[in-house]
Structure 1
Amino acid sequence: MEILTSAYDLVIGYIVPFLFVLTIVVFFHELGHFLVARWCNVKVDAFSVGFGREIIGRNDRHGTRWKLCLIPLGGYVKFAGDDNAASVPDRDRIAAMSDVERRTAFVAKPVWQRAAVVAAGPIANFILAIVIFAAIFMTFGQVVTTPVVEEVRPQSAAERGGLKAGDLILSVDGREIATFTDLQRIVSVSADVPLHMQVEREGKTIDLTVTPEFQELKDRFGNVQRIGLLGVSRSPKPEDLVHVTYGPLEAVAQGAKETFYVASRTVDYIWGVISGREAADQLGGPIRVAQISGQVATQGIVPLLSLAAVLSISIGLINLMPIPMLDGGHLVYYLAEAVRGRPLSEGVQDIGFRIGLGIVLLLMVFATWNDVLHIARL
C-alpha cells in the first residue's frame, strides 16, 4: 500500500506538474515555427509534442500529422525536405522532388524566410512568457513594498556601508528604486561589487557605497541559491505595503519588463559559467525541472504558471545558442549564406550538425548528472 501511495504522490506531485509546464512551453515553441512556416507557404509534414512512438495523432487538411508521442521531453515541427526533427535536410528526398513539391519545401525557400521560420520558435517562447506574466499582473495585481530599511543586521554589509534603519533607498548605481524587490534584484546579482546608493534619511539625500556579501542560501525545499546580500529587512508596516493593479497595456509592459529581467539574469549566469565566475552546478535538466515543478505546484496555480514563463524564457534562450542542431545554429548557417551569397557546403554543414549533436548530448548528460547530485544532497 505504501508503494502505491508513493507512486501516486510521485505522479500527482511531480510528473503531472512537470508535464503541464513542459507541454505548454514546447507547444508554443513549435507553434511559432509552424505558424511562420505556413505564412511562408512551407509544407509541414508533422507537428509533434514529444519524441518516439506516436500515442495519438491525426492529419489536418494540409497534410500535417499532429501527434502526441511517448517521450514527453520536447517536440518538433518537421518540414517537407527534412531528414529529422532537427531540420537536417534530406538531400536524396529533395533531389527526387517534383517542381511542385519543391516550391513548398523548406530548403527551397529564400534565406530570409528560413531564418524567420527558425527564429519564430524562440520568439514564441518570449511572447508566451510576456502573456503569462501579463495575465498574472492583470488578474491578481502585485503587492509591493516601498524600499524602506526596517532593520540593519549587525556586522552586515549594510552596516559597514553606512545604511541605517528608516533609510529610504532612492537609487542604486543611477537606477531608480521603486520597490524593495527592485533593490533585491540588483543586490542579488552584485555579490562583492560596490554599489553606489542614494538614500533619503530624515529629509536629506545621502550618498553611500555598499558592497553586498556573497552567501549561499537554502529555501524550504533545500534548493541552494548563491546571491549577494546586504543584511537588511523590509518594512512590515501596512502603510509600506502597496497593492498595485494593472490595466491590459500596463500588464503587458510589466510582463515584458519581467521577461527581460529573467532573460538578462539567465544570460548573465550562463556567461558567468563560461567565464568561471559562476558555478555550473546550478544548471539543471529534466529531473530538476520536474522536482521544481512539484515544489512550486504545492504553492498554487499562479507560481506554477510563473515557472512556465521562466522555463519558456530559458528554452527560448537555449535554442538561440549558436550550436548546430539548435535554432541558433541554423541561424548562423543562414547568416553565412546571406553573407556569402550561397549556402555552406554540404560537408561543412554535416560536420557542424555532428558536432552540435555531440555538444547537445554532453550538455544533457552534464545537466542530468547535476540533477542526480542535487537530489543526493537533499
Structure 2
Amino acid sequence: MIESVFAFGQGALGYIVPFLLVLTVVIFFHELGHFLVARWCGVRVLAFSLGFGPEIIGFNDRHGTRWRLALIPLGGYVKFYGDENAASAPDRDKLASMAARDREVSFYGQSVGKRAAIVAAGPIANFILAIVIFAMTFWLLGRPVTEARVDAVQPNSAAERAGFQPNDVIVSINGGHIESFSDMQRIVSISAEQQLRFEVRRGEQTIPLTAVPELQEKKDSFGQVHRVGILGITRSADASQVKHQSYNIGQAFVAATEETWFVVERTLGYIGGVVTGREKADQLSGPIRIAQVSGQAAQIGIDVVINLAAVLSISIGLLNLFPIPLLDGGHLLYYAIEALRGRPLSDRTQEFGFRIGIALVLSLMLFATWNDIIHLTTL
C-alpha cells in the first residue's frame, strides 16, 4: 500500500513539476511585457506577482515594486498605481482625490493609447517568446526534412480518388510552395472536407490534382485525440530519404515566425470549427491535461518541453486577446470604445462587463477541466 502511494506521488510530481516550470516561464514573460511597457510609459508598478494568494517570498526593487512569488501558481499579475485590484480595475475614489503628479504615474492617468499598449504588451510578449524559442531550436538543432514524395496510396482514400500515384512529388498546395512532407501534412491536417489544389511532379511533368481530405480522429504521441484531415498517402520510412536542414540565425527567425503563425492559424481554425459545429469541443484542454502532456514531454526530452513552452505561450497570448472583459482583449475592447466615444464607458457598464467576463472564464475553465477528467477516465 505504501509503495503504491509512493509510486503515485512520484508520478504526480513527474507531471506537476514540468507543468509548473513551463507555466511559470510563460506567465513570467507575459507579465514582463506588461511591466516593461508600463515602465517605459512612466507608470508606477506596485507589484509583480507570479501566482495568486499569500506571498511565499518577495522583495522590493529600487523603484518600489514588490516582486513576489505567491502560493497559487496558476497565473500572475502586475498591479499598477491607481488599480483597485489585480485585474486592473480602477480605484475611482483614489483617482478622484489623487494629486496631479500622482495621477501622471497612475495607469488610468495615461492616454488611451498608452493604456492599450501596456495591455497588449502581455500577449505580444508571449508571441515573441514563442518565436525566440522556435528560432533558437531551429538555429541550434535544425530539423529533419523529408521530401513530399508519395510512397504509397491507400485504397479508397481521398488521394486515390484524386488520382495520386506512387513516386509523385507534391510541389505546391493552393499555390503555396511545399518543401517537405511535413509541410504537406500540416496543410492537409487543417483542411478536412475542404477542396485543395495540388501540383505534383510526375516524372518530367507537373500535373494538377484536386483532393478533399477526409475528417478522421487520430492520436498523437501523447495520447491526445485530434480530428484532422487525412489524404491517404504514406511516405517512405527509409532513413536515407530524411535530410537534416540547418538554418542561419535569420532563416531560423523566419521559420520560427511561420511556425508561430501556423499554431495561431490552427488554433483559430479549431475554435471556428467548434463554433460552426465542424469540430468537437472535447479537445479543449485544462490544467490537468496540460500537466499530463508536460510530464510526458519531460520524459521524451528537454527539447520537447521547450517546444511545448512555445506552444503554450502562443495559446496563452491568443487566449488573452479574446475580447472578453477581465482578459487583456476585454480591456482593449473597452479602450477601443473609449477612443471612438471620446470618453470611457461608465463604471457600472464596465463592472457589468467584468462580471460577464468572470462567468465566461470560469465556465471555460470548468468545461476544460471536465474534458480533462473525461480524458483521464478513458485512458
TM-score, normalised relative to structure 1: 0.97
1:10 maps to which residue?
Answer: 12
| 1:217-259 deviation line (CA, Å, top 9, x unaligned) | 1234432111111111113345532211111111111111100
Where in structure 2 are the equivalents of 1:151-230 lying within 5 Å?
151-230=152-231
Residue 4 of structure 1 aligns with an amino acid whose one-letter code is F
Aligned equivalents of 1:285 and 1:2: distance in 2?
26
2:324 corresponds to: 323
Letter in 2 for 1:75: G
Corresponding residue for 1:54? Answer: 55
CA-to-partner distance for each residue in 1:92-142, whole Å, 9 max, x for gaps?
Answer: 222232222211100110110000000000000000000000010011001
Structure 1, 25-34 or 173-182: larger mean CA deviation: 173-182
Unaligned segments of structure 2, at least 5 residues: none
| Structure 1 unaligned residues grouped into runs of 5+ | none
User: In 2, are the aligned partners of 1:145 and 1:235 still within 8 Å (CA)?
Assistant: no
Mapped partners of 1:200, 1:239: distance in 2: 20
Per the alignment, residue 142 of structure 1 pairs with 143
Partner of residue 130, structure 2: 129
> What is the aligned partner in structure 2 of residue 353 from structure 1?
354
In 1, the alpha carbon distance for the partners of 2:110 and 2:319 equals: 25
Q: Give % identity.
A: 59
Structure 2 Cα separation of the partners of residues 329 and 218 of structure 1: 35
SS in 2 for 1:192: coil
Q: For residues 1-378 of structure 1, what are the structure 2 equivalents within 5 Å?
A: 1-11=3-13, 13-378=14-379
Rounded Cα–Cα distance in structure 2 between residues aligned with 1:80 and 1:135: 37
- Work out the CA distance in 2 between the residues paired with 1:313 and 1:213: 28
Distance 1:281 1:5 in 2: 30
Which range moved further: 352-361 or 306-315?
352-361
Q: Per-residue deviation at 1:155?
A: 2.0
**SS at 2:87's partner residue?**
coil
The amino acid of 1:329's aligned partner reads G
Instruction: Report the 3-state secondary structure (helix = DSSP H, G, I; strand = E; otherwise coil) of the residue aligned with 2:337.
Output: helix
Hey, what's the Cα distance between the residues in 2 that align with 1:176 and 1:102?
Answer: 54
SS of equivalent to 1:48: strand
Task: Tell me, in whole angstroms, the C-alpha distance in 2 between the residues paired with 1:289 and 1:148.
Answer: 34
Mapped to 2, the partners of 1:220 and 1:365 lie a distance apart of: 26
In the aligned structure 2, how far is the partner of 1:6 from the partner of 1:239? Answer: 43
Write out per-residue CA displacement over residues 43-102 of structure 1, whole angstroms, 9 at most, x where no aligned residue: 111000111111110011111000111111010001111111111111122223222221
Supply the distance in 2 between the matched residues of 1:219 and 1:323 (Cα, whole angstroms). 31
- Given residue 334 of structure 1, which amino acid in structure 2 is its aligned partner? Y
Q: Secondary structure of 2:160's partner?
A: helix
CA distance in 1 between partners of 2:211 and 2:275 (Å): 27
3-state secondary structure, aligned to 1:228: strand
Secondary structure of the equivalent of 2:300? coil
Secondary structure, in 3 states, of the residue corresponding to 1:149?
coil
Give the conservation status (yes or no) of the 8 Å contact 1:321–1:327.
yes
Aligned residues, how many?
377
Paired with 1:226 and 1:178, the residues of 2 have a C-alpha distance of 24
Q: Distance in 2 between matches of 1:10 and 1:237?
A: 38
TM-superposed CA distance for 1:197, in Å, is: 1.1
Q: Structure 1 pair 128/61, CA: closer, same or farther in 2 (3 Å)?
A: same
Please state whether the residue corresponding to 1:144 is helix, strand or coil. Answer: strand
Cα distance in 2 for partners of 1:238, 1:356 equals 52
- What secondary structure, in the 3-state scheme, does the structure 2 residue paired with 1:222 have? coil
- The aligned amino acid for 1:269 is Y
* CA apart distance, 1:355: 1.1
Q: CA RMSD in A?
A: 1.2
> Take 1:254 and 1:222, find their aligned partners in 2: how far apart are those partners?
27
Bigger shift: 96-105 or 198-207? Answer: 96-105
The alpha-carbon deviation at position 299 of structure 1 amounts to 1.1
